[in-house]
Structure 1
Amino acid sequence: MTQPHHNHPPHNPNLHPLPLPADFNPATCLLQKSTEFGLFHESRRGARLAADLVANGHPEDLALAEKVLDAVLACQEVDPRDPHCGNFYWMAEDHHVEDLNAVEFNLEALIPMMIRYGDRLATSYQERVRAAIQLGLQEIARLDVLVAYTNITVLDILNSSLGGELLGDSALAQRGYNKLVAWMAYTHQHGHPLEYNSPTYGAVTIRALKRLIDLVRDEATRHRAEAMTARLALSIALHIHTPTGRWAGPHGRAYQPSVVCETPPEMAMVREWVANGTVPAWVGALLDQRPACFQVTETAERNRQLALTTYHTPTYVLGTATSSFNPQANVCMAHFTRPGAERPGVLYTRYITNDKWFGDAYHATDRTKTRNLPDEGDFFSVQQQNRALCIYGSQNFRHGSSAKAVLIWTVRAAIDGIWVGGQQVATLPCQVPPGQTIVVASGDAYMAVRPLQITALGKNTPIQLVERNGDLVLEMYNYQGPEKRFWELNWPGAFYQGKPIISYYLEIAERSDFADGAAFCDAVNSGTLVEHLDVPYTYPAAGERRYVVSYQREDQEIGIDIDLMQWQLKRRWTAAGDLGWPTLATDFVAALAYVP
């Protein structure tokens, strides 16, 4: 290992004490959060607070930091009989290790704290923290997270590399260096990290790489981290929609506040990264100097048939994923400008069973039901610029009272007009006859949706526009009726004839291009839609049942071919031919100059 390239900041005894966050609880010496399930104290937030206190360095801070560290280290499992000895309880209220990522999030604060400012702590606390780090790194090595799990892999790299160097354990450090090499090889094989285009976890990954670059002693590891930062920064820049300031979809994982733009615009975060050197300076140029319209496609993993396509215009951005990845994903998503509004508009999709909505899905990490609406479907799509063909299939629906695909437009009050079959709709709910095109006008965009093949699992399979929790929702049902079991959906099973599907065509246009929604509806309907679904048969664990759909208008065509039996994507194409799996493809040619 080479010598460190960082320096300890001088200890300034004249600093003022660190202002404590409003949610600091002096009784527990941790930060608290209140949900509908009670009061909780996250261990990782305590670790971050301790690091901040030690960094600030005032004597009062250091005294409080010891108390905070006491509370944090009390959350570490130290019983050698526990298979996760060395990990941390996510909350101080827990009595067992469940979230295996807790050790990564705690050590990412404690290890840099010890490298930079450890000598500010009393010797006894230095020894305790180093022992906790040693125990935690042993757990990280045992877990040996799969390199496909992007943000946790990078935290493993960070903690193992820096922790090994801190402790003088060359084997632990080398494990971190090797993990980085393995992650790079896996990523370069496909093009983009598997945990693709995530506003939440992409930021975690970028910050971890920055910390590694700043603190690691091993020169080769530092250079590799710089290269991966540049590659990720390129992708992020190509997915920032500058007119709205948002991180455009599709998202591999995202929490609801960022999905609906309740968080600050991500473009501001990226510009801050440019300003403080987290990402290369040329990232700012990619934000400032770009064509009005461009498309970017990247592959997250060929083996999973997972690629992402995003198309930018001055008024909207549309993104789709070729296949499903995670319940927190946004596989089909658009942002569009709403002049005069506080936030841009958002269109996103879900497959939902049993009419769940916000407040129905418990998220164990956050200890709340209010933050997410998980996608319960499998998904395939093909996209070319502003047009997409999308197919949802039920994932695990075997028993229940409803199963549906939904398209959600945020803020019903900001919807300027709705047309069904060319006729304007004045009130909701509104039933949509089969074969009719729906057009929604909001802000500067028209969005057209044409429901296509819908597998009926019962007598009642409505297509309807409704308002839910202040949003406009298009619901397309596979089933709505009495709660029942679906024998025909079990595989292995004696009645299985393939996944039930809901498919639709989606197109977005600038409102300035059409006189009104009816005119846009006419344009969409003037295209040629061709669908073919093989006749049903009971699956004997061999053979296929294909669904093929294409849409053509003027000189553009998109098409997709899937197998319902094994749920496989067989083919995607445009007028130019079959689509492959590019590591990075964009008509924004200047961006390619920055590929590391």
Structure 2
Amino acid sequence: MKGRITMNNLLDEQALLRWRLEQLENQFSPVHSMIREKYTTNGYHTALHNVEQVHSIRSSIEYAQGLLDTGLTDAEDRAFAVIRQIVSLQDHDPASVTYGIWSYYLEEPLSSMRPPDWNWADFIGKVLLTTVIRHKHRMPAELLDRVRESVFHACESIIRRNMGPHYTNIAIMGSFVTLLAGEVFQNPRYLDYGLQKFEAFHQYASRTRTFQEYNSPTYTKVAIIELSRIRSATRIGRALEICEDMLNLAWEGVARHFHASTGQWAGPHSRCYSTLLPDAARAFLQLALEGELDFCAPADMFYDLEWYNLGIFCPESYRALFREAAEREVREVYYRSEDGYEKTAVTYMTTRYALGSASKEVMWNQRRNLLAYVDGPGGTVYAALRMLHDGYDFSAPVFSAEQRKGNVLCGLQLSLNGGDTHIGLDRIDGGIQAEDLRLRLEIGGSLDGVTANAVDGGAVVSIGGVKLSLRGLYTRFAGGATSLVQNPEWEIVHSCDTLCLDLVLYSGERRRIDFTALDEAAVVFTLSVREDEGRDSSPDSFFVTMSAAGNGEEVTASWSTEDGELALNLRLKPDMVEALRGQD
């Protein structure tokens, strides 16, 4: 498998596959027949403590498939040993609540997770099934039988859970596992369920012509991978029709949101793990565009084993958008309830910056509800809104926005039962224990030449010839014996490698903050991003007229800009997250 990546083989998938496997060679543990890697956590599901290295179930099964994908016979024994190990780690007991799924790591059984991740029936099941589709003729009969049974257990888990079509990547993955299990192993029950599930997903996405996991750099990429996986494997005509339609929808969304000047995937993002586009996403786009855009030099190339031989490519009709640096706006409804309630997303791009906002979302750390990218003097600069509870993103507050071009009118409310670190796994009960609670506009990336100056009620950040101006309009936290600052003001804070505009709501001894005791709890502010273009660049020149006033029940804000009228109306008293969000 020895080799290296050069300009000549940068798009050669077999060369990339063997190169990636060579990188993993030192991580293979012969004792456990698994891949050993650095332990990381997103703060939920896994509850491991004080662990540096773990044996990953997902990485290991992808490694086994990759070994077989090389076609090398001397890799078979190792691949089969890994597959046997992974199959043995699945919960095979139909009476168990975790039936059909796996834990994340060998070191952490399902019973220790908080909670287990039922998505692993989909994530691991799809790799086992893809391995069977490609290599069943090479597998020993007894191993093929064990893998078939393992895939069936995963199918049963998926059917029991019956996740709806709104969960984009899991809807597609679950469709693949059940549909192809039925097709490959001639099981009519799984085939019928899988096709119905795929059809339901297609109908759901077709209502708005967007995914509910809207504009997600992480999960749009996953959707493209999994749709390509189905397209490469099935012979069912209707499934192939759905694949083509949904792949076109996905690629159109990626292309329309790509900001050529910064090389970033413009916001807002419904789910995202890295504010700046990670190397894996850049490499994925480079491969899908067949080298038309040069994101990665050979030394910086990344290759994911699961991409291999799926036929991933961007349609020709969308490729020009990846190079286009002209002004454009994307305004879409990405959620519509049965009773007509809608959520919208707006993205505005110029040659120098991109600014995006979501009309109403919780402040989960996977959300990028308010996000700007600027082509700065030293490279790409980002500005992203966060709500921090003791330094970690606080999911419970609800963000609202109205946007016209480079101007956004923003609001924030407190919910009584939203998530703490996660939107649903650790919901709060009317309040929190905290040492610190703050709203933050975080500015990061290449900060050379970036400066910030305080102005009355906010701050102006200068990024080369682009001005980013934040102005507070209304901030009120009052009622009961609250320890929150009643009328906090925005301040400039330097934190590690970022420049932050913070609104500190509480900082002090750890104590309970009771949201139910608050009669008023809301923040309204504006964000304006624009190029100087020789015009007056003083802070006040960014604004035409604006106002915000509360009457004890609600706060009404309006902003008359040169690009249009903006307005928000928010209730002041904290409420259930479902009521504030307008979505069950």
Q: What interval of TM-score do these two structures reach, taking the shorter chain for normalisation? A: 0.7 to 0.9
Preserved contact between residue 241 and residue 317 of structure 1 (Cα < 8 Å):
yes
* Cα distance, 1:277–1:484 mapped onto 2, change above 3 Å: closer
* Cα distance, 1:317–1:412 mapped onto 2, change above 3 Å: closer
Show the 5 A alignment for 1:134-283: 134-255=152-273, 258-261=274-277, 263-264=278-279, 266=281, 269-275=284-290, 277-283=312-318
- Measured on the aligned residues, the alpha-carbon RMSD in Å equals 2.6
Show the 5 A alignment for 1:402-413: 402-411=436-445, 413=447
Counterparts of 1:264 and 1:58 in 2: how far apart (Å)? 29
* Cα distance, 1:567–1:293 mapped onto 2, change above 3 Å: farther
1:580 matched residue in structure 2: none
1:19 matched to 2:22: yes
Preserved contact between residue 404 and residue 563 of structure 2 (Cα < 8 Å):
no
1:453 matched residue in structure 2: 474
Show the 5 A alignment for 1:307-386: 307-325=344-362, 326-341=364-379, 344-354=380-390, 356-357=391-392, 373=393, 375-386=395-406
Q: Which amino acid aligns with 2:462?
A: A
Q: Which amino acid aligns with 2:473?
A: L
Counterparts of 2:93 and 2:549 in 1: how far apart (Å)? 60
2:559 matched residue in structure 1: 551
CA displacement 1:115-161 (0-9 Å, x = unmatched): 12111111111111111111111111111112111111110011111
Residue aligned with 1:168, SS: coil
Deviation at 1:420, TM superposition (A): 2.1
Q: Which amino acid aligns with 1:333?
A: L
* Cα distance, 1:553–1:138 mapped onto 2, change above 3 Å: closer
2:546 matched residue in structure 1: 529
Counterparts of 2:376 and 2:489 in 1: how far apart (Å)? 30
Residue aligned with 2:434, SS: strand
Residue aligned with 2:376, SS: coil
Counterparts of 1:199 and 1:42 in 2: how far apart (Å)? 23
Q: Which amino acid aligns with 2:332?
A: E
Show the 5 A alignment for 1:478-497: 478-487=505-514, 489-490=515-516, 495=517, 497=519
Counterparts of 1:400 and 1:309 in 2: how far apart (Å)? 34
Aligned partner (choices 392, 395, 417) of residue 451 of structure 2: 417
**Unaligned residue ranges in structure 1 (runs of 5+):** 1-14, 358-372, 422-434, 536-544, 572-596
How much identity, in percent, do the aligned residues show? 22
Residue aligned with 1:64, SS: helix
Q: Which amino acid aligns with 2:315?
A: P
Preserved contact between residue 18 and residue 56 of structure 1 (Cα < 8 Å):
no
Deviation at 1:233, TM superposition (A): 1.1
Q: Which amino acid aligns with 1:349?
A: L
Show the 5 A alignment for 1:76-95: 76-95=90-109
Counterparts of 2:354 and 2:365 in 1: how far apart (Å)? 22
Q: Which amino acid aligns with 1:260?
A: L
Deviation at 1:349, TM superposition (A): 0.9
The size of the alignment, in residue pairs, is 503
Counterparts of 2:188 and 2:145 in 1: how far apart (Å)? 19
Counterparts of 2:131 and 2:221 in 1: how far apart (Å)? 20
Q: Which amino acid aligns with 1:347?
A: A
Residue aligned with 1:19, SS: helix
CA displacement 1:229-288 (0-9 Å, x = unmatched): 101111111111111111111111111xx3134x23846533422435533221213323
Counterparts of 1:18 and 1:414 in 2: how far apart (Å)? 38
CA displacement 1:37-96 (0-9 Å, x = unmatched): 332122111111111112223222111111111221122111233122221122112222
CA displacement 1:209-239 (0-9 Å, x = unmatched): 0010111121111111110110111111111
2:306 matched residue in structure 1: none
CA displacement 1:390-425 (0-9 Å, x = unmatched): 11223454443332210000058425322222xxxx
Runs of 4 or more consecutive aligned structure 1 residues displaced over 6 Å after TM superposition: 567-571
Aligned partner (choices 469, 473, 480) of residue 496 of structure 2: 469
* Cα distance, 1:374–1:198 mapped onto 2, change above 3 Å: farther
Residue aligned with 2:125, SS: helix
* Cα distance, 1:560–1:53 mapped onto 2, change above 3 Å: same
1:70 matched residue in structure 2: 84
**Unaligned residue ranges in structure 2 (runs of 5+):** 1-17, 40-49, 291-310, 416-427, 478-483
* Cα distance, 1:178–1:274 mapped onto 2, change above 3 Å: farther
Counterparts of 1:266 and 1:57 in 2: how far apart (Å)? 27
Q: Which amino acid aligns with 1:531?
A: A
Counterparts of 1:438 and 1:26 in 2: how far apart (Å)? 57
2:461 matched residue in structure 1: 440
1:424 matched residue in structure 2: none
Q: Which amino acid aligns with 1:346?
A: Y
1:33 matched to 2:37: yes
Counterparts of 2:454 and 2:230 in 1: how far apart (Å)? 54
CA displacement 1:439-477 (0-9 Å, x = unmatched): 101244210000121123336834311111121011112
Deviation at 1:322, TM superposition (A): 0.7
CA displacement 1:3-35 (0-9 Å, x = unmatched): xxxxxxxxxxxx999636142223322112223
Preserved contact between residue 563 and residue 569 of structure 1 (Cα < 8 Å):
no
Deviation at 1:486, TM superposition (A): 3.8
Q: Which amino acid aligns with 2:86?
A: V
Preserved contact between residue 161 and residue 177 of structure 1 (Cα < 8 Å):
yes
* Cα distance, 1:159–1:311 mapped onto 2, change above 3 Å: same
Q: Which amino acid aligns with 1:442?
A: I
* Cα distance, 1:126–1:103 mapped onto 2, change above 3 Å: same
TM-score of the superposition, structure 1-length normalised?
A: 0.79
Deviation at 1:570, TM superposition (A): 11
2:321 matched residue in structure 1: 286
Residue aligned with 2:22, SS: coil
2:304 matched residue in structure 1: none
Preserved contact between residue 224 and residue 312 of structure 2 (Cα < 8 Å):
no
Q: Which amino acid aligns with 1:296?
A: V
Stretch moving more, 305-314 or 26-35:
26-35
Residue aligned with 1:410, SS: strand
* Cα distance, 1:57–1:466 mapped onto 2, change above 3 Å: same
Preserved contact between residue 458 and residue 489 of structure 2 (Cα < 8 Å):
no
TM-score of the superposition, structure 2-length normalised?
A: 0.81
Residue aligned with 1:447, SS: strand
CA displacement 1:472-498 (0-9 Å, x = unmatched): 0111123334443344x22xxxx4525
